[in-house]
């Protein structure tokens, strides 16, 4: 039997990259048991952690890039191993060596787009605010109540622009004094960081932080849970603090303060999907549900996997930019759970989730049986119905 000795240099590099917690792992396998990948194929995050312990990570294999950083395994780990940090640390090594196998190679293009235009979609920075045409949105100015940080997908993706427009409609209806940064806004950098590219993340973060400070930003409203997580939990590494609120939280604030009144009926049986970076990572479970419960005519039902045990859509950890073979998409399973619960509409609050659910809906031929909506679209529909009802 061949004896394998730990490669000290690799172990040190993983520790330096933030993955030191691998030393706590005693290989119980709980992480593999709860990992959503094992619902569709064979995958072992436990094996990756073990390889880190030995200093023998296989940086050239696609399994290293499967993790969606959904947070389910660390939430269940009895030893606090921090599997996400371990995996990202190894990805940093792979990224530094330029090793991107198969479906992961798209990250190179994404990295270039983030560097040149501040978004991962290959779109022109100067067209970031093109969606605001005819909406009369003011540029943010110091003294405004809140900055609406739109985010990349809500700025460029045709489907998500509908949710951004709904958000603007709600803010105006509530009398919120807000503005946007327009073309001065850059990607928050969360997903590129999870693929191991620390330099690009830091450049994006510093650019956004400078823009926030230069414009006197105090409170930031975001639509994406990934932006929320990054501004709230990761930008603090740069010794700054901003008051960050997710749209689902802000909607509840507006309702409780009496600034919007949801009287228009939405007669639908709805189920709510907890995005990983809103729910499991940041504990925001009740606010979105409380918002939906304020809408007349709406019946809220729960899926089998909900709240802390919500099933990942498959888009986190940079997976939104990678190809996932048919039959291995978590979103397909989630739509099946929504239909199993008897829902006519699947509502969530994350652009990655909506993008993946819409793709699965089309692939599975569910266009007629299940609607996919952002929470702002439902609230806006209720507000518009209120205006139309005499």
Task: List strand residue ranges (DSSP E) for the chain, in order.
Answer: 146-149, 178-179, 219-222, 243-246, 269-272, 299-301, 345-348, 371-374
- E strand or H helix that includes residue 159: helix 158-173
Report helix, strand or coil for 307. helix
CA 101 to chain CA centroid, nearest Å: 24
CB atoms < 10 A from the CB of 213, how many?
Answer: 11
CB atoms < 10 A from the CB of 302, how many?
Answer: 13
Domains of the chain: 8-99 (no CATH), 118-254 (3.40.50), 262-388 (3.40.50.10700)
**What is the average pLDDT across 345-373?**
91
Report d(CA 88, CA 317) in Å as an integer.
Answer: 9
pLDDT tens sequence across 257-293: 999 999 999 999 999 999 999 999 999 999 999 999 9
Share of the chain above pLDDT 70, in %: 94
CB 211 within 8 A of CB 262: no
pLDDT tens sequence across 319-351: 999 989 888 999 999 999 999 999 999 999 999
**What is the average pLDDT across 45-49?**
88
Report d(CA 179, CA 356) in Å as an integer.
Answer: 29
Report helix, strand or coil for 130. helix
Spell out the alpha helix ranges (H) of 17-77.
30-34, 45-54, 72-76
pLDDT at 305 over 80: yes
Beta pairing, strands 345-348 & 371-374: parallel
pLDDT tens sequence across 99-140: 888 888 899 999 999 999 999 999 999 999 999 999 999 999
pLDDT tens sequence across 209-257: 999 999 999 999 999 999 999 999 999 999 999 999 999 999 999 999 9
pLDDT at 50 over 90: no
Report helix, strand or coil for 44. coil
Q: Which residue has the tokens 């990572």?
A: 281
pLDDT tens sequence across 51-109: 887 777 788 888 899 999 999 998 888 888 888 888 898 898 888 888 888 888 899 99
Q: Which two tokens stand for residue 152?
A: 């990349």
Share of the chain above pLDDT 90, in %: 72
């Amino acid at each position: 039997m061949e004896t394998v000795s730990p490669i000290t240099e690799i172990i040190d590099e993983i520790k330096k990259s933030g993955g030191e917690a691998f030393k706590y792992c005693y290989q119980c396998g709980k992480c593999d048991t709860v990992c959503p990948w094992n619902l569709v194929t064979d995958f072992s995050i436990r094996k990756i952690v073990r390889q880190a312990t030995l200093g023998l990570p296989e940086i050239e294999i696609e399994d290293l890039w499967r993790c969606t950083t959904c947070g389910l395994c660390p939430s269940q780990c009895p030893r606090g191993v921090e599997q996400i940090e371990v995996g990202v640390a190894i990805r940093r090594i792979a990224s530094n060596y330029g090793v991107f196998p198969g479906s992961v190679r798209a990250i190179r293009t994404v990295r270039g787009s983030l560097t040149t235009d501040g978004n991962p979609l290959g779109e022109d920075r100067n067209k970031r605010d093109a969606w605001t045409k005819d909406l009369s949105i003011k540029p943010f100015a110091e003294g405004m109540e809140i900055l609406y940080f739109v985010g990349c997908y809500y700025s460029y993706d045709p489907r998500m622009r509908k949710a951004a427009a709904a958000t603007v409609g709600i803010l105006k209806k509530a009398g919120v004094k807000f503005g946007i940064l327009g073309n001065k806004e850059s990607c928050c950098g969360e997903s590129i960081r999870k693929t191991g590219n620390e330099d690009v993340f830091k450049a994006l973060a510093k650019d956004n932080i400078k823009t926030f400070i230069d414009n006197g930003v105090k409170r930031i409203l975001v639509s994406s849970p990934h932006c929320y997580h990054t501004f709230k939990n990761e930008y603090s590494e740069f010794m700054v603090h901003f008051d960050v609120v997710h749209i689902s939280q802000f909607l509840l604030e507006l309702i409780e303060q009496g600034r919007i009144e949801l009287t228009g009926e939405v007669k639908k049986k709805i189920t709510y999907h907890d995005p990983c970076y809103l729910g499991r990572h940041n504990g925001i479970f009740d606010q979105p549900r409380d918002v939906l419960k304020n809408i007349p005519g709406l019946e809220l039902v729960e899926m089998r996997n909900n709240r802390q045990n919500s099933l990942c859509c498959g888009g986190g950890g940079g997976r939104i930019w990678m190809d996932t073979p048919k039959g291995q998409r978590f979103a397909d399973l989630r739509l099946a759970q929504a239909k199993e619960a008897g829902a006519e509409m699947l509502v969530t609050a994350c652009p990655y989730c909506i993008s993946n659910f819409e793709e699965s809906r089309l692939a599975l031929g569910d266009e007629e049986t299940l609607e996919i909506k952002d929470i702002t679209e439902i609230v806006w529909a209720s507000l518009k119905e209120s205006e139309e009802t005499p």
